[in-house]
Chain A
C-alpha cells in the first residue's frame, strides 16, 4: 500500500546485516511483506538457513510483537520466533526480529479458489479454533484478514503471521482493516471484546464463501445476506453468519459449536433437481410410449 517502502529506499536488498547485540549475520534476499508497523524480508542466516525478518523503525511495536509471539510460543499456528535485535544502516537505527520463514500462500488464494463449500468451511473451522485459542489467553486478534493467515505449503498447516495487533480484552482496537472492522460496518464500537472477534471471523467466513470482498462503506449487513443468498449459500449458514455479524453470538467458542452443527446439505435444491429430472424422464417415457403406439397403429396401414 505504501508508495515508497521506507527501508527499500536504503537499499538493503543483497546486503548483509549484523545484529548489534547477538551478532547474527543475515543476508537480505527480498521483500516479502509490508505490514502496518514494518516490512518483512526473506533473509539467509548462516546456521538457520532461510528466515523471515520483520524490520521497523519503531522499537515499541517490534518489541511488542516479539513479546506477543513469545507468549504463544510452542503453538503450531505461528512461526517460530528466534531473536530480537537492532542494526544500523546509513546512520539510522532499525529494530527487527527473526522468525521461521513460511513458504506458502495466504488465504486470499483459498478465497478465490473454487474449493467446495464443505472444504472451505473445514479450513475456516481450523482458523476459528486458532482464534478461540488466542481469545482464551485474554487477547483479541484484531487485525484478522486473509493476508495475515498463511497456508504452509510443506505441511498444509494454517499459520497466523502478524502478531502486532493482539489487544487485551477490554482494550481499544488500534490495528484493523475496515472490511473486518465492526465499527466500519456501523455494527458496534472498537472495544476489544469477544463479540468483536466473532464479527471479524464472520466477515472472513463470508468472503471465503463468496470468493470476493465487499466494501463496508458501500454495503451493509442486508447486502451481505443478499450476496450470500445469491451465492446459493445454505439458508442455515447464511442465517448463522448474519447472527454473528449482529453480535448475537457472544464468542468464538459458541460460533464454532453452532458452525459444526449447521446443516449445509443442499437438500432443497437436490429435491428440486431430482423432481425436474424425474419429470423429464417421465415425459420422455410418455413420448416414447406415444411413438410406439403410433408405430403399432401405423404399421398395418403402411403394410397396405
Chain B
C-alpha cells in the first residue's frame, strides 16, 4: 500500500428526483470512478408517487460510480446517510484489500473460505476508522426539495459530528445543485474538518430550480481532484 496511511475519496448524492439538465449522471459517475472517486447515492422517498425510473437512476449512478445506493423516508435520512458513509468507506476498502490480496496470494477475498474471512474483516474495519477521508456531499436543492432542505441540512451536520469521532482525518465538502446565477452547481462549502465552517455554508442554501445531477457530479469531481492531497493517492 503506497503512502503511510492513504486517503479515500468518496462522493455521495442526496436527491429526491430524476436529473433533467446536462450530462447523464450515470456517465458523470463513471468518469468520477475512473479518476479514483467512489460515487454513492441516496434517494429520498416522500409519500408522493415516484416513478420507478427515479429509483433506477439512483441505482444506476451508484453502480457506475462503484458505490452503493439506498432509499429512505425523510425521517430516516440522518441514519441512512451515516450508515451509508460507513458502508461505502468499508466497501471501498474491501475492494482495495481484495485487489491487494490478489497480488499477494493470487486470489481475491471472495475466494477465501468464509470461515477464514473474519481476520480480513477485522483488518478492514480497523483500517476504515483510521484512513483519511475526503467526502463530497452533492445535495439536490431543486424546487422539489423545498420542504426537505432544512432536514437534509441537519442530517449533514449530524454526519459531520459522527465523522469527527473517527481516528483518521475526515474532510467534508458540500456541493449543491442547481447553483446560483444559472450555474449548474455551486460549492456551498470547500473541504473542511470544521463543523462551524460547514454550518456557515449550509445556512445560505435555498431550494429552487431544476435537477442537473450529472453536471453537479462533475463539479464535485473537479473540486476533489483540486484538493492538495497527492493526486496519485486515489487508493490506500
Contact = CB atoms under 8 A, between A and B. Distances in A.
A3 B71 contact: yes
B117 interface: yes
Interface stretch (A110-118, A173-181, A233-241, A269-277): A173-181
A85 B78 CA distance: 32
A93 B110 contact: yes
B115 A190 contact: no
B125 A64 contact: yes
B57 to A, nearest CB: 13
A59 B109 CA distance: 9
Interface string B58-83: 00000000000011110110110011
Interface string B143-185: 0000000000000000000100110000000000000000000
A196 to B, nearest CB: 13
Interface residues of B, number: 33
Interface residues of A, number: 30
Contact of A60 (B75, B124, B166): B124
A108 interface: no
Interface string B2-31: 000000000000000000000000000000
Contacts of B121: 59-60, 63-64, 67
A248 to B, nearest CB: 24
A243 B187 CA distance: 45
B87 interface: yes
A84 B117 CA distance: 10
Nearest to A4: B55
A177 B52 CA distance: 27
Contacts of B101: none
A242 interface: no
A86 B112 CA distance: 11
B79 A176 contact: yes
B213 to A, nearest CB: 18
B162 A190 contact: yes
A59 B117 contact: yes
Majority-rule SS of B interface residues: helix
Contacts of A156: none
B45 interface: yes
A61 to B, nearest CB: 8
Given A3-B55, A86-B110, A60 B78 contact: no
A74 interface: no
Contacts of A260: none
B90 A60 contact: yes
A1 B86 contact: no
B94 interface: yes
Nearest to B87: A58
A262 interface: no
B118 A60 contact: no
A33 interface: no
A1 B91 contact: no
Given A3-B55, A172-B165, A190-B162, A63 B87 contact: no
Contacts of B106: none
B71 A172 contact: no
A84 B114 contact: yes
A226 B20 CA distance: 49
Interface in A130-181: 172, 174-178
B189 to A, nearest CB: 23
A93 to B, nearest CB: 6
B47 to A, nearest CB: 12
Given A4-B55, A61-B87, 8 more contacts: A63-B117, A67-B118, A85-B114, A174-B82, A176-B79, A189-B165, A190-B165, A217-B75
26 contacts: A1-B73, A1-B76, A2-B70, A3-B45, A3-B71, A4-B52, A4-B71, A58-B91, A59-B109, A60-B90, A60-B91, A60-B121, A60-B124, A61-B87, A63-B117, A64-B121, A64-B125, A83-B114, A85-B114, A95-B114, A172-B165, A174-B83, A175-B83, A177-B79, A189-B165, A190-B165
When A and B form their complex, which 9 residue pairs have the shortest distance between CB atoms, in order from nearest? A84-B114, A3-B71, A63-B121, A172-B165, A63-B117, A67-B118, A60-B90, A174-B86, A3-B45
